[in-house]
Each structure stands twice: as C-alpha cells, then as structure tokens.
Amino acid sequence: MRFLILSDLHANFEALTAVLTDAESKYDKVVCCGDLVGYNPDPAAIVDWCSGHCAHVVRGNHDKVVAGIDDLEWFNPIAQVSARWTMSQLSQEQLHYLRDIPRGPAVLEHFELFHGTPFDEDEYVLSEKVAGQSLSALQMPLAFFGHTHVQGGFFRQHRRLGIIKAVQLDESEYAIQLEPDLLYMINPGSVGQPRDGDPRAAYALYDSDARLVTLRRVEYPIATTYRKLKSAGLPDALGLRLFNGQ
Ligand code: ZN
C-alpha cells in the first residue's frame, strides 16, 4: 500500500493543491497528523478536503482549540486572532468534523500517527531527549508525527539515536529505506506553514511493501496565499513567515 502522509496543512489551499499535483498517482491512501486549520485563509476548503479524502486523521493542537476542546488562552496573540477568525469561517458541520477527530496515537496496520508526541499532542519533538522518550513509547516500528513543522525525524538502533534530515534546499526529495529492527519517527514536514527554513510545501510518501519513505518538497504560489490572507484581515506576520519558511 502506498500512503500520502500530510501534516500541519494549516488552511493553506494553494500548498495542498501543489502537494496533490506533485504526488498524483503515487499513493493509494491519505493519512494526516493533524492541524488542518489555523494561521492561513482557507480552513473550510481544507476541512472539506480532509473529510472527503483522508483515511485517518489525528487531531492537532489547532484543531482542538478551533473545535472548542482546548482553551484559546494558551495560544500567542497572533495564533489567537487566527483561531477566532477560523471559528467564524467554519460551518457547524465542519466544526463537528474537527471535534470528532481522534487524538493520537492512532495505531494503524503499517504505522502509527500522532501530532506532537505519543503522550501529548502539544509537545514538540525537537531534541534528541524528547525523541528518545517518544521512540521508547512507540507501539509500531514506524510512526509519523507533526507539530514542529520541521521535516525529518529520528531513528533508533539499539541504543544509538540518529537524526533524519529534511530534503536539501536544492533537491526535491530524499528517500529513506527503512531497515528491519530499527525504530523510526518521521515528520513529513508542514504542508501549509514550513518552519525549517525552506518555504516549499512539505510532505511524505510511504510504500509499505518496499518499506520506503520519501520526503518531498514542492513550490506553491505563496503570493496567492499571502493575498488571500491579507484580504481576510489576518495578521501580516502570518503571511510574511510563509515566504521565509519560518
Ligand atoms: Zn501546526
């Protein structure tokens, strides 16, 4: 089975469209590590697309806040503005869909999914220490996660912890052949708001027969998203960060 792995779409329709064009005919099923909404100007379109196309989704911290499960006050002021605006843009049905997304980990046939760590969807796996704790808690040898908006991840072989890097800036993909007896935690990167210094939309493909994960990056019309964001009255900083991938 070939999977398209998405995370942190964050209401960026142009980025999702570019990813789907780039990945076309390379996957059979879509899974998502959460954060469908927040920050960018197309929450309704992204929620509708995910509800129609994703086989499995785990909820992210932004989904939780916009759905009213968690409190807004934990967000920084800019994220609060965007969360309030997002709530006003979604129908009752779309809000119900967000509310019903299960929290991770979701343990599936070939891998598991979570947003932050297996313990906490709001925790960031950026250090080797947190990665080590999360790897110890995996229920499958392979997990996909999100939340950091940084493509790459970690693996463990016995006691040795290794780092998986993002696709290089002058490349469009990086393939990882999974080895037996290793544990992997892989972040496909953020579709809608990359923060690893590469503004291109990020995603991953996984072929479970070949045991091959492919990290990919694809350009999208950031200026279009920026224009829509401005005319929606969302904070300028949210648009500017897209150009820098920060
Ligand atoms: Zn996010």
pLDDT tens-digit map of 132-143: 999 999 999 999
Q: What order of strands is seen across the sheet that includes strand 112-113?
A: 106-107, 112-113, 142-144, 183-187, 152-157, 160-164
What separation in Å is there between the alpha carbon of 196 and the centre of ligand 1? 13
Domain limits for position 63? 2-244
Instruction: Write down the pLDDT at residue 72.
Output: 87
Ligand 1 centroid – CA 198 distance (Å): 16
In the reported structure, the alpha carbon of residue 62 is separated from the centroid of ligand 1 by a whole-number distance in angstroms of: 7
Cα 193 to averaged position of ligand 1 atoms, centre (Å): 8
**Å from CA of 149 to ligand 1 middle:** 6
Q: Provide the pLDDT for residue 69.
A: 93
Could you tell me the pLDDT band of residue 74, with boundaries at 50, 70 and 90?
confident
- Average pLDDT over the chain reads 97
Stretch 234-245: mean pLDDT: 96
Each residue's pLDDT tens digit, 136-179: 999 999 999 999 999 999 999 988 999 999 999 999 999 999 99
Domain of 134, CATH number, reads: 3.60.21.10
When pLDDT is averaged across residues 111-115 and rounded to a whole number, the result is 98
* Range with lowest mean pLDDT among 73-87, 97-111, 181-195: 73-87
Ligand 1 centroid from CA 189, angstroms: 10
pTM of the model as a whole: 0.97
Ligand 1: centre distance to CA 139 (Å):
23
CA distance readout (Å), 98 to 11, 152, 156: 13, 26, 33
pLDDT in tens, 18-72: 999 999 999 999 999 999 999 999 999 999 999 999 999 999 999 999 999 988 8
What contacts 24+ positions apart, CB below 8 Å, involve 174-178? 174/214, 174/215, 175/212, 175/213, 175/214, 175/215, 176/212, 176/213, 176/214, 176/215, 177/211, 177/212, 178/141, 178/142, 178/211, 178/212, 178/213
Task: Calculate how far, in angstroms, residue 148's C-alpha sits from the geometric centre of ligand 1.
Answer: 7
Task: Count up the domains in the chain and report the number.
Answer: 1
Average pLDDT on 98-123 reads 97
Characterize the bridge pairing of strands 2-6 and 29-32. Answer: parallel
**Residue whose token pair is 């110890």:** 136
pLDDT of residue 73: 85
- Cα(118) to ligand 1 centroid in Å equals 16
Asked if 101 and 59 touch (Cβ cutoff 8 Å), the reply is: yes
What is the structure's pLDDT at 228?
98
CA angle, residues 89, 123, 169, in degrees to nearest 5: 80
**211 pLDDT more than 90:** yes
Residue 195 CA to ligand 1 center (angstroms) comes to: 10
Q: How far, in Å, from the CA of 190 to the mean position of ligand 1?
A: 7
